[in-house]
Structure 1
Amino acid sequence: MSFEWKGVMPAVTTQFTSEDKLDLEMFQVNIEAQLKAGVDGIILGGTLGEASTLSDAEKSTLVNTTLDIVKDQVPVILNIAEQTTKGAILAAQNAEKEGAQGIMLLPPMRYNAGDHETICYFKEVAKSTSLPILIYNNPVDYKIEVTLDMFEQMLVHDNINGVKESTRDITNVTRIRNRFGDRLKILCGVDTLALESMLMGADGWVAGLVDAFPAETVAIYRLAKAGKVKEAIEIYRWFMPLLELDIHPKLVQNIKLAAVATGIGSENVRAPRLPLQGEERKRVLEVIDNGMKTRPSLPDYLNL
């Protein structure tokens, strides 16, 4: 499947049973809700997917299950977050063999690689696969920044053609566009900066709260791209308290709890994560409950 990095691409959660097995039934409920809402791709195995707790066999199951559910309606993308270049190459090659249509690629995990090491890491993975690659640039959480000069060296590989922009610096969208034009597609990776990023020229949104509110997320994107900015802002302002649940160390628990409220997920997480408790749980539920009570009516955003 040929595609571009654009539109709303959910970083989907991995659903677990109370016995800590993959809950493929609830997983399908969520994926089907995403497709109905009009998302443009499905990203598996990200932070929200609790990738660090998944076995290779479980990742394979998720890829194959998603491909079966999606049936070529949208691309299926696998996130790769490995500690070694060898491991990342193997993961990329396996993803391609299993039928994934793209890769979201993080810098090396645990080791704080220098610029040259990071460039070599990304380039070696790019050489090992024909799949399009979205570089995940998140120096806030992962302590490695991929600078524009670094991208300049990496773009000799045609399949490095997108960036998940999570630097938290909104002006970086303009810098990337000025430097590379359309050669490097830009997907915002921070829920609370998504509309601003799209208005500055980002091509799309790797979203988190979409896992609970897919229609509202896609509506904001479609309205913004159709020039209906006022309508997009109205939904975005309602959404903001919920979107802030994404920029938190317990974003997985927060978003899974929100998906319980909308009926498209469970709050089961894999240890060492545990469901929210006490005052923290109460606070998050108040945000979710208020969002549910004031949930806006949406325009016919799929037919703009």
Structure 2
Amino acid sequence: MEVKWKGVMPAVTTKFTDNDSLDLEMFRLNIQAQLEAGVHGIILGGTLGEASTLKEEEKGTLIKETVKLAADKVPVIINIAEQRTDDAVQASAKAAEYGAHGLMILPPMRYKATDRETMTYFKTIADSTHLPIMIYNNPVDYGIEVTLEMFEELLECGNIEAVKESTRDVSNVTRIRNKFGDRLKILCGVDTLAMESMLMGADGWVAGLVCAFPRETVAIYELIRSGRLSEARQIYRWFMPLLELDISPQLVQNIKLAEVATGIGTENVRPPRLPLSGAERQRVLKIIDEAMASRPVLPEYKPAYP
């Protein structure tokens, strides 16, 4: 199916059982909650998905399960974050074989590549696949910035279509739009800047806290889309303490605790990650508990149009 790079695309967590195998029952429950809320795509195998700890067969299982659940209602995107270019090409081919509809690609993270090396890496992957691609631009966490000048060359590859914009500079949305118009779709990748980015013209939101709060997340997007800004702002203000849990090295543990609170996840993480403990666990639980106690009643937000 065609990937329309817009709307809310959850970067879903990977669910594990107490004995560290894939918890497909809970995974299916969460994906179903996302689809019922009205998300516009599903992204697998990112940081939130603990991709670096997943075996190849586990990634394949998750893609195939999600493709089956999505049933061509929304596209399924897989994250590519391999260190070797050959491995990234092979992972892209496997994603297509398993039925994924698109790719989100990170630059190599364990080596601070030059601009030329980064572009060659991206272009080699793009030239190897028919799948559409979203470049993940996150210099804050991953140390490599994909500049506008780099995008100008990368867009020579017809299947590079979108950017997950995580520079944390909202004005970059305007710079991208001024330079490339609609040729490069923009999805905000920072939960705490989502509304601001969409008001400045971003096409959507690759979201984290959506894993626990899918309806609230989609409501914000749809209300903005329909011009109901006051209603969107009210939900966003309630959401902000939770959204700040996404901009933390422990974002996986934080968001999984939130999933427990809403009944669509467990807090099991895969080592070397460990569940939160002590004062930090209590701090996060307090934020979640306060949000649950004041959780807003949502207006009807789903559009009558597709």
Shorter-chain TM-score range: over 0.9
CA deviations 1:159-212 (Å, max 9, x no partner) are 000000000000000000000000000000000000000000000000000000
Distance 1:158 1:145 in 2: 21
AA aligned opposite 2:67 = L
AA aligned opposite 1:5 = W
Identify the residue that residue 154 of structure 2 maps to in structure 1: 154
Distance 1:200 1:65 in 2: 35
The answer on 1:22 being equivalent to 2:22 is yes
Identify the residue that residue 244 of structure 2 maps to in structure 1: 244
Distance 1:4 1:67 in 2: 16
CA deviations 1:66-115 (Å, max 9, x no partner) are 11111111000000001011111111111111110000000012011000
Q: How many percent of aligned residue pairs carry the same amino acid? A: 69
Distance 2:58 2:198 in 1: 34
Q: Secondary structure at the match of 1:265?
A: coil
Identify the residue that residue 257 of structure 2 maps to in structure 1: 257
Distance 1:93 1:22 in 2: 23
Distance 1:58 1:109 in 2: 22
Distance 1:303 1:174 in 2: 26
Following superposition, the deviation at residue 4 of structure 1 comes to 1.3
- Give the paired residue count: 304
Following superposition, the deviation at residue 273 of structure 1 comes to 0.5
AA aligned opposite 2:145 = E
Distance 1:33 1:212 in 2: 9
Counterparts of residues 292-303 of structure 1 (less than 5 Å): 292-303=292-303
Distance 2:38 2:280 in 1: 33
Distance 2:280 2:263 in 1: 21
Identify the residue that residue 208 of structure 1 maps to in structure 2: 208
Give ranges in structure 2 of 5+ residues lacking alignment.
none
The answer on 1:4 being equivalent to 2:4 is yes
Counterparts of residues 99-118 of structure 1 (less than 5 Å): 99-118=99-118
Give ranges in structure 1 of 5+ residues lacking alignment.
none
Counterparts of residues 1-304 of structure 1 (less than 5 Å): 1-303=1-303
CA deviations 1:6-34 (Å, max 9, x no partner) are 00000000000000000000000000000
Q: Secondary structure at the match of 2:302?
A: helix
Distance 1:303 1:120 in 2: 41
Q: Secondary structure at the match of 1:302?
A: coil
**Aligned Cα root-mean-square deviation (Å):** 0.6
Which stretch of structure 1 is more off in the superposition, 63-72 or 266-275?
63-72
Q: Secondary structure at the match of 1:79?
A: strand
Distance 1:136 1:3 in 2: 16
Distance 1:283 1:122 in 2: 40
Following superposition, the deviation at residue 303 of structure 1 comes to 3.0
Distance 1:122 1:199 in 2: 29
Distance 1:142 1:210 in 2: 22
Q: Secondary structure at the match of 1:91?
A: helix
Distance 1:135 1:5 in 2: 12
Following superposition, the deviation at residue 3 of structure 1 comes to 2.2
Q: TM-score, normalised by structure 1?
A: 0.99
Distance 2:78 2:281 in 1: 30
Distance 1:67 1:25 in 2: 15
CA contact (8 A) 2:109 2:143 kept: no
Give the ranges of 4+ consecutive aligned residues of structure 1 lying more than 2 Å apart after TM superposition: none
Distance 2:37 2:76 in 1: 16
Distance 1:72 1:264 in 2: 22
AA aligned opposite 2:225 = K
AA aligned opposite 1:68 = K
